[in-house]
Amino acid sequence: MIDFFKKLFSNQQVKKASLPFLHEAIDVKNYPLSDLLLWQKEGKWAAFIQIVQKAHSDRLITGKSITGSTSIMNSTHANGWMLHCVNHAFSDLDYNHFAYLLYTKVKRLGYTLNLGEVRSQERSPNIETITKYYLKPSLRNRFISDDNLAAQLYGNITITYKIINGRPFEFKFEAHAYQDSKYSKPLEFSVLLDEVLI
């Protein structure tokens, strides 16, 4: 089962990637918020929420990690989901807005953006573009634990959207918790879901 998750959620591929030929930071301060507000009226965000919530509900009922067009990751140190984009009607713009909205909702929970980037590279014979937001608990929130251990909130959170040859391929949301004795236990992932899927 562990091998299955590693294979499913790993960004590693058999063929070695060449050096990135396009790499830029995401300018979150200048995100086109007026476009985002207009887009939100289309109901795409609500549809996205419904897909993810249903996948998690189905997993609780069936125990299966793959529910329809969505894969669920659930373990002691990592939780999340992955949408297989080919099975959804969302556009490239939709996924970029999904990623930004999730970033903003996680940030409000006491997180700071450690990395925000768009990276394109060739993985012969394909061209792969990855949009990534990587967030960690803010320094202030790492010292709120009552057990004299470093608090980790829900763990480090990664939001990743991958395009292959110009077409949406996969969209992932992952929370990775430290399994170190210096850290307190992470907060429940189900609570994180409730906080970001609104």
Half-sphere exposure of 45 (CA within 13 A, CB side): 18
Whole-angstrom distance, CA of residue 163 vs CA of residue 127:
8
* DSSP conformation class of 12: -
User: Contact, 56 vs 72, CB < 8 A?
Assistant: yes
Mean pLDDT of 1-13: 51
Separation of alpha carbons 183 and 16, rounded Å: 35
Give CA angle at 138 (154, 26), nearest 5°. Answer: 95
Q: What is the pLDDT of residues 112-157, one digit of tens each?
A: 999 999 999 988 889 999 999 999 998 876 665 566 778 889 999 9
Using the predicted structure, report yes or no on whether residue 12 has a pLDDT greater than 50. Answer: no
pTM of the model: 0.85
Return the domain boundaries, the chain.
2-8+21-196
Name the burial class of residue 38, with classes exposed (0-12), middle (13-18) and buried (19+) by CB atoms within 10 angstroms of its CB: exposed
